Structure 1
Amino acid sequence: MNFNKELIDRANENSLTGKRGDSIVSDAEIDLKRFDEIFQNTDDWTEEQKDLFDKRRHAYIELLNQYYGELLSRNANHVPWYVAGPSKYNVKKSDKQIDGIRRTMVEMEEKISRFIENTKKMIKKLEPPEKTIEKISKGKWVYGQAIASDDPFVLEKLYAKKEFQESYQEKMKLANKDARKKGENPPYPAYELSNNRQNLKATNDRIAKIEKMRKTKCAEIPFDGGIIVPDINDCRVKIIFDEKPEVEVRELLKKNAFHWSPKNKAWQRQLTANALAVAEQILTRKN
C-alpha cells in the first residue's frame, strides 16, 4: 500500500496523541492481513481460483488505498479545537468535517465487508463440482448454506449430504453405546442425535421431491398471449408473454411469488407443482 507521507504527518499533528496518521496506516495494514488470513487455505485451489484471488487481492489493496487515503486526507485537513485553540474556532466547519470522517469510516467498513464476501462467493463458484461434493460428504460445508434447487449438481450434493448425515448419526450412536458400556457419560447428547435425525429427514424429503419433479412429464401450457414453460433444467416455471402483460396480470404474478427475469425474458419462480397450478390458474383464467 502507498499512502501520502505528508498527509500522515499532518494527521499526526492534528491528533491529541500525535499518532492518528500512523494509526490509520496501521489499521489499513491490519485489514490487508485479515484478508490474507481469510483466504490462506489455498492448497486445494485450482489455478483458476488462485488467479482470481491474485486479481481480487490487488483490487482489495486499491480499495484500501482509496478509503484509507481519503480517511488520512480528511483527518489531515481537520484541525480540532485543542490543536487550533478555542479562540474564533469554527465549530460548524469542524462538525461538518467530523461527519465526513464518520461517513467515510462507515462506507469503508461496508465496502470492505462486501468485497470480502463477494470474493468468497467468486472463488467458491470456481470450485470444481466433484471437490464440492467430496467436501459435503465429509461434512465440510458452511452451516446454514443452502444447496439451491437449480444447481445442476443438486442431487449429487444432496446425496453427499445424506451420506455424511447417515455416517455421523451412526458414529454418534456407536460412541454413546460404547461409553455406556464403560460406565461413562455418552459424548453426544440426545438433542444432537435428534437434530441430525431431523436434518437427515429434511435432506431425504428434498431428494424425493426433486427426483419426483424430474420424473414428472412437464408439458408446456399455451395461453392466449404466451406460454408457460416448466424448465426442469433450470428448475423454474417460466411464463413467456408475446407482449408486455397488463398491470393487473403483473400484480397477480408478483403476489404469487413470480418475478421478472431480464436474463431469461420471462416471469418465473421455482418449479413446483403448485407454481405450475398457480400460473395456469392466473393465465388461463381457470377457477
Structure 2
Amino acid sequence: MTQTERDMQLVKSQPLTVKNAHRVAMIRKKESTEPPVPFHFRKKHLGMESFVHFSGKPEDEKELRPTDFKDWEVTEFKYPGYLEDLWEAACNAYRWSSFDPDIRGESDIMIYEKEIHDDLKRIPAERHEEYIAAYKQKFAAQLSALARCASPMVTGRSGFNVYKHEKANRTYQNRCEELRRWRDRILKTMERTKEEKLPEEEKQEKAWLSLKRDIESSADTIHELDTGKCRGYNRALFVSSILNKVSTYAGHGEVEIVQKAVEFISEYNTRVKKPIITPRNKFFTLPETAREIREKLNIVKGQENRELAFEGGTLVWNYGKNRLQILFDRIPEDDKRKELKTSGFRWSPKNKAWQRQLTPHALSAAKRVLNLQTLQP
C-alpha cells in the first residue's frame, strides 16, 4: 500500500456527493454505528447513458440513487480528487455537443483522475505536485476547447456554422493530442531516469531477459518452419533477426549478454534435429567481437573529453559516456529541434545536452545539423 493510499484511509469522513462518487470505495449512513459498506459506482448500465449505483454486496443489487447521497458519508476513497475543481467545467464543456453533458463530464473526470493516479505510481513522490499541476492545466485547456465544439443534433441545424465548428473540433483534437504527447514524454523520461538508477547487475539482467524473449520467439518460429508446423515465412529472415539483435549488443561491448545469447542458441540446438543457427554462422563469433569492442571502448573512455565551440553553443566528445553532445547557449527553435531528432540526437535532461552515441555517423550528423564545414573525428 502506497503512502497516498494510506492517507486516503486516514481522512475524516466526507459527504457522499455527485462530484466524488466515482472515486468512493466505502460509505456508511450518517450518524450510524454500523460498519462501512462498499460503494459500487455505475455498477449496472441500463443503456443510453443511464447507470445505477449499488451499496453493500454487488449481488444484493441494493440501489443507491444520487438523490439519496445526502444521507451517506464517505469513509474511504480509491484516490484523491485531483480534478474535482474542474467537475463543472467538464460537464459544461458538453452542453453544445451531448444530450447528457453531466454524464459525459463526470465520465471524463473519472477517466482522467484514474489516469493521473496510475501515472503517479510511476513518478517519484517529489515530482507529484508538479505533474498534477501541469496535467490539470492541459486538461483545463482541453475542456476549454471542447466547450467551443457543438453538434447540430443538440443545437439544431438552423444557422449552424459548419466551418466554424469544424475549426473548433480541430482545436479540441490538438489540445487532446498535446496532453497525450506531454504525458508520454514525461512518463518516458521518468522510466529512463528509473532505469538509470538501477544497479548495473539489474540493468544487465533486464536487458538479457528482454533479448532472450525475442531470441526464443524467433527460434521457436524457425523450429516450426523446419518441422512443417508453420509455413509461409522466410527462415533466413528470422535467423538474421537473431543475428542483428545480438550483434547490436556486441557492438556495445556487452560481453556477458552476448555470451548468454550464444549459449542459449547452442543449448536450443541440442534439443532440435536441425540447428536453429549452424555452427559456421558468424553468430558464434560475436562473443569475441564483443570482447574486442569492450577493450576499445575502455581505451576510449579513458581519453580526456574534447570540446569544439561553434556559434551558439559547444560540441562535446564525451568519451566517458560514449556520447557526442551538443550544448546550445539557448533553447533551439522548433525546426532545429526537429532536425536534431531526425538526425538521431535526443535531449538528455540529466546532462542538459542533445546527444547520441559517439560514432562516425554521429559526427557526420552533427556536421550537417550545425553546418560545420570542417569537423574531424
TM-score, scaled relative to structure 1:
0.54
Task: Give the CA deviation at 1:103.
Answer: 0.9
Task: Figure out how many residues of one structure are paired with residues of the other and give that number.
Answer: 210
Task: Give the CA deviation at 1:123.
Answer: 1.0
Task: Give the CA deviation at 1:172.
Answer: 1.0
Q: Structure 2 CA distance, aligned partners of 1:56 and 1:147?
A: 33
Superposition CA RMSD, Å = 4.6
Q: Structure 1 CA distance, aligned partners of 2:285 and 2:99?
A: 60
Q: Which runs of 5+ in 2 are unaligned?
A: 1-81, 215-244, 305-315, 326-342, 346-350, 364-373
Q: Which runs of 5+ in 1 are unaligned?
A: 40-51, 181-188, 221-228, 239-256, 276-281
Q: Structure 1 CA distance, aligned partners of 2:284 and 2:194?
A: 28
Q: Structure 2 CA distance, aligned partners of 1:67 and 1:202?
A: 49
Task: Give the CA deviation at 1:104.
Answer: 0.7
Task: Give the CA deviation at 1:271.
Answer: 6.3
| Pair 1:170 & 2:266 matched | yes
Q: Structure 2 CA distance, aligned partners of 1:175 and 1:82?
A: 66
Q: Structure 1 CA distance, aligned partners of 2:173 and 2:180?
A: 11
Q: Deviations over 1:83-118 (max 9, x none)?
A: 222333344432332121011112222222222221
User: Which residue of the partner structure matches residue 82 of structure 1?
Assistant: 153
Q: Structure 2 CA distance, aligned partners of 1:127 and 1:113?
A: 21
Task: Give the CA deviation at 1:21.
Answer: 1.8
Q: Structure 1 CA distance, aligned partners of 2:269 and 2:250?
A: 30
Q: Structure 2 CA distance, aligned partners of 1:59 and 1:199?
A: 48
Distance 1:206 1:10, change over 3 A: same
Q: Structure 1 CA distance, aligned partners of 2:255 and 2:92?
A: 61
TM-score, scaled relative to structure 2:
0.43
- Conservation of the 8 A alpha-carbon contact between 1:25 and 1:68: no
Q: Deviations over 1:153-195 (max 9, x none)?
A: x65xx1221232133123313333xxx6xxxxxxxx744x469
Q: Structure 1 CA distance, aligned partners of 2:111 and 2:132?
A: 13
Give the secondary-structure state (helix, strand or coil) at the position aligned to 1:127: coil
- Conservation of the 8 A alpha-carbon contact between 1:8 and 1:21: yes
Task: Give the CA deviation at 1:205.
Answer: 1.7
Q: 2:180 aligns with which of 105, 109, 115?
A: 109
Q: Identity of paired residues, percent?
A: 16
Q: Structure 2 CA distance, aligned partners of 1:54 and 1:203?
A: 42
The answer to which structure, 1 or 2, has the higher relative contact order (CA under 8 A, 6+ apart) is 1
User: Which residue of the partner structure matches residue 248 of structure 1?
Assistant: none
Q: Structure 1 CA distance, aligned partners of 2:132 and 2:107?
A: 17
* Correspondence 1:1-287 to 2 at 5 A: 1-3=82-84, 4-18=86-100, 19-29=103-113, 31-32=115-116, 35=119, 39=122, 53-136=124-207, 138-140=208-210, 155=253, 158-176=254-272, 190-191=275-276, 193=277, 201-212=285-296, 214=298, 233=320, 235=322, 270=358
As a proportion of its length, which structure holds more helix?
1
- Conservation of the 8 A alpha-carbon contact between 1:12 and 1:22: no
User: Which residue of the partner structure matches residue 232 of structure 2?
Assistant: none
Task: Give the CA deviation at 1:76.
Answer: 2.9
Q: Structure 2 CA distance, aligned partners of 1:7 and 1:230?
A: 51
